[in-house]
A and B are shown apart, each in its own frame.
Chain A
Amino acid sequence: MSTQTKESSSPTLQPYKETFSLGRFVRTNGGQLGIIGVFIGLWIIFIVSAPDTFLSSRIYFAFMSTIPFFAIMAIPLTMVVIAGEMDLSFPSIMGMGMVAFSFVYERTVNIDSVTTRVVLAFIAALISGSLIGWLNGVIIVRFGIPSLVATIGTQFFWRGAVLVLTEGRNYTLSYIKETFLYPVLVGKIGGYFPMQMVWLIVIAIFGWILLNRHQFGAHVYLIGDNVQSAQLMGINTGGVRIKVFMLLGLISAFAGVLYSFHIAYFWPSLGEGYLLNTLASVFLGGTSVFGGVGTILGTFLGAFIIGAIEAATVATGLTGFWTQLIYGLIIVLSVIMHTYLRKRAG
């Protein structure tokens, strides 16, 4: 940098080159390096204490089969939290998406092709998820209600709607196995690699590009950082916030379809139990609850840590009673670490 400083006084300014400095790299990427450290550290602990389990590939295929169901929702939820908002209603949106799916399938009996019916039902699920997300956004932005409060309400409302509409019935979805969507959504590549993991990777990459290399993501960060500055500089803050809620609604409905396809069954309780795992993944990954800060990589690793703890607790010889205690410990310690790293970077 010192040579560039001298050149700046001459009329021809050299183009800016990003010089690599380890200190600066560590400071600016502290949060991501921190979560990578936690991830690797825990992994080593798991391997040392339960080598039989963690040195065989079976457990990793099991993780890749179950973790994506909530990890893919954690990606758009990261954007919601970066924008300074919160959403507690996405587990109910998973359920409502599958209500739309089942209803459209049942009401298209006059169509001969099962595949066509399933594709229509799938599209209906995605549309209803987006609509519910849009409605969340509208309630929050147009009425100025804090998103935490608004989505406590919508979370109950849509779970209630699922129960009322299904009258508590379960639906078997065995028919989906004859359609191409089944292997595309939840099949196993080569008999091993779960397709839901492929979808998680696709959504994570898409989410990273949207957040870091697209104008939309730039605005999400700015709104979470300082909403008044964003408004003064002409950003449509309401529109962007509505869109992040829509995106989370869309992906939640997609996750609901994935999970229901995986077990070929739709329970009206679909999504219950995913709320805290998904939120924990986001905060474990270093996204700030105050908005303006957060990364997709952090959330991705956070989800795998959350997903692995339960299996690891049992495999290391502790009883299942320990799981929540260890969850809590890791979450609290990681959040303390992130806060400390952010202060140093500031």
Chain B
Amino acid sequence: MNHRLELKNVSKSFGEVQALTKINFHLGRNEIVGLLGDNGAGKSTLIKIMTGYHQPSSGEILFNGKNIANLTVSKARQLGVETVYQERALAELQTLWRNIFLGRELKNQWGLLDVNRMKQETYRLMNQSMGFTSSAVNPNSHVGSFSGGERQGVAIVRALYFDAEIIILDEPTMGLSLKETAKLVNFVRGIKEAGKSAIFIDHNVIHVYNVADRIVVIDRGSIAGEFLTKDITLDTLMEKMIRVAESGKLE
């Protein structure tokens, strides 16, 4: 069976800086993979390659076993990759409905926007998926006035609306309250129940351990090791993470 997504020998350099070296990575069907690593280990670069934002310097990207050359953001979205970025990727001066449909506006063949349908869909999503019931938030609200949790809600619902097969979450708990974090962890479990795949990146080892099927550790641009969460205890994982950070080796 083909993997949902696979990277073969992917390297990436920015000028003199070698960000990733010969990464071999795969994401199975209905699998949640946790990606762990210190600051600057290359996690964000790796996911930006999967989403088509960066092009790898060398190596191959395969979706469902098929090699995809010159992956772009819009091509990756067509292939079912949705990303909740660390930086949220919202436009704060714009309205909620414009943010939900950012880059994929509903339009007719002339490029004219179907404003009413986008507002209706936004309203439905707000109530059914985002859990925004406050009357202060409506499709015409400006995203700049939202709290951190609400903004994260917008970024997540946007990823879900477009029938994603692979959902990538880059540091999704950053800046969230405890309650909002618990909601997010539940949401990631929901992805698994819906039969989809996800890549979950977080600083917090406990969050990742709780939801991931498999954990991949990245250090200094290479994969240092991987474990199935059922085979390893949280304590051992924590020990190994500290050892990697200090020595660059897992064992």
CA gap between A230 and B53 in the complex, in Å: 11
Q: Give chain A nearest CB distance to B123 CB in angstroms.
A: 3
Chain A residues with CB under 8 Å of B115's CB are 213
Chain A residues with CB under 8 Å of B139's CB are 16
Q: Give chain A nearest CB distance to B249 CB in angstroms.
A: 34
Chain B residues with CB under 8 Å of A13's CB are 123-124, 127-128
Which chain B residues have a beta carbon within 8 Å of chain A's beta carbons? 51-53, 72-74, 76-77, 83, 85, 87-94, 98, 102-105, 107, 110-113, 115, 119-120, 122-124, 127-128, 133-135, 138-140, 142, 144-145
Given contacts A2-B135, A9-B133, A230-B103, 7 further A-B contacts (CB under 8 A): A5-B135, A221-B91, A221-B93, A222-B91, A225-B91, A233-B102, A234-B72
Closest 9 CB pairs of A and B: A16-B123, A234-B73, A233-B103, A1-B135, A225-B91, A234-B74, A8-B127, A229-B89, A292-B93
Chain A residues with CB under 8 Å of B87's CB are 228-229, 232
Which of A4, A219, A226, A235 is in CB contact (< 8 Å) with B92? A226
Can you list, as one digit per residue, whether each of A286-299 has a CB less than 8 Å from chain B (1) or not (0)?
Answer: 00000011000000
CA gap between A231 and B51 in the complex, in Å: 11
- Is A232 a contact of B73 with CB atoms below 8 Å? yes
Known: A28-B140, A218-B98, A346-B144. A230 touches B91 (CB 8 A): yes
By beta carbon, the residue of chain B nearest A24 is: B140
- Is A225 a contact of B145 with CB atoms below 8 Å? no
By beta carbon, the residue of chain B nearest A8 is: B127
> How many residues of chain A are within 8 Å of chain B by beta carbon?
34
CA gap between A278 and B196 in the complex, in Å: 53
Which chain A residues have a beta carbon within 8 Å of chain B's beta carbons? 1-2, 4-5, 8-9, 13, 15-16, 18, 28, 209, 213-216, 218-219, 221-222, 225-226, 228-235, 292-293, 345-346
CA gap between A292 and B145 in the complex, in Å: 15
- Is B113 a contact of A292 with CB atoms below 8 Å? no
Chain A residues with CB under 8 Å of B83's CB are 232
CA gap between A225 and B98 in the complex, in Å: 12
CA gap between A8 and B139 in the complex, in Å: 14
- Is A232 a contact of B112 with CB atoms below 8 Å? no
Chain A residues with CB under 8 Å of B107's CB are 214-215
Chain B residues with CB under 8 Å of A16's CB are 119-120, 122-124, 138-139
Chain B residues with CB under 8 Å of A230's CB are 91, 102-103
- Is A222 a contact of B113 with CB atoms below 8 Å? no
By beta carbon, the residue of chain B nearest A9 is: B133
Chain B residues with CB under 8 Å of A233's CB are 73, 89, 102-104
CA gap between A9 and B127 in the complex, in Å: 8
Q: Give chain A nearest CB distance to B46 CB in angstroms.
A: 15
